[in-house]
Amino acid sequence: MDYTLQIWKRPFKLLTELYYKNLSHIIPYTLDNVKINYKPELEAHGYATGLDIRINGEFVKGTESWASISFLSTEEQLDGSDEWIKRPSNQFLNFGMFFQDYFPGYDRIKVNLTFLYGSKLPTGPPNAISHEESDNYSISSYKRVDLGISTVIIQKKDTDLKKKKGLQSLWIGLEVFNLLDISNKISYLWIKDLEDKNHRVPNYLTSRVINLKISAKL
């Protein structure tokens, strides 16, 4: 459902979605890094239910910002089993926020902050003897903060035609991804020892990255 709102005499849009889906004839699978291992010898049924909420608008006049939150629960039950198992996509909570503001006293410079959070994900060894074993582990929650600063060199309302050089706008920006340099796990490398026990070696996403961006509009 979509709602158009007026907050602080500025336009906002609120989007909400509540859903439930019954799943039948599921082929269970596990994730091995980026590889999907299906188990066609098994069959299951399950469900997915959740709630998505998003609001976007001008929290600061003249700039677009947004915030969103999602809840999800998805489980499956093997045919002939009494136990419900979390599916690999069962991430209960996702939160994101993008906020923009002008540099105090100088509206040609914009600063933006992005916050991202995702709760833990179920995982397990791809060579698990039983399907239930793949439900005993999890990848820790995902957390990231990004910072961006951009300045407009040329904008449409500038009257100096020599300065514009045929451009409608020209922006230069500096972005810092993963500002806090948080080590986020993306998956595990699974290794078996001589006693047939599984051991996890985490794979991490990229640490802090700095990016320079130039944007021009003719």
Using alpha carbons, list the distances in angstroms from residue 1 to 47, 53, 55, 68. Answer: 22, 10, 12, 14
pLDDT of residue 87 exceeding 70: yes
Q: What is the pLDDT of residues 95-121, one digit of tens each?
A: 999 999 998 878 889 999 999 999 999
Domain coordinates in residue numbering, the chain: 2-105+113-145+180-201
pLDDT on residue 182: 95
Residues 85 and 135: beta-carbon distance below 8 Å: yes
86: number of Cβ within 10 Å:
20
Q: What is the pLDDT of residues 147-185, one digit of tens each?
A: 999 998 877 666 555 555 667 778 899 999 999 999 999
Beta strands in 8-141, from DSSP E residues, in sequence order: 10-26, 29-32, 35-38, 44-57, 65-78, 84-86, 93-103, 106-118, 121-123, 137-139
CA distance 84 to 28: 12
Query: Nearest CA to 182 among 218, 198, 206?
Result: 206
37 pLDDT tier (thresholds 50, 70, 90): confident
pLDDT of residue 79 exceeding 80: yes
pLDDT of residue 61 exceeding 70: yes
48 pLDDT tier (thresholds 50, 70, 90): very high
CA distance 86 to 130: 14
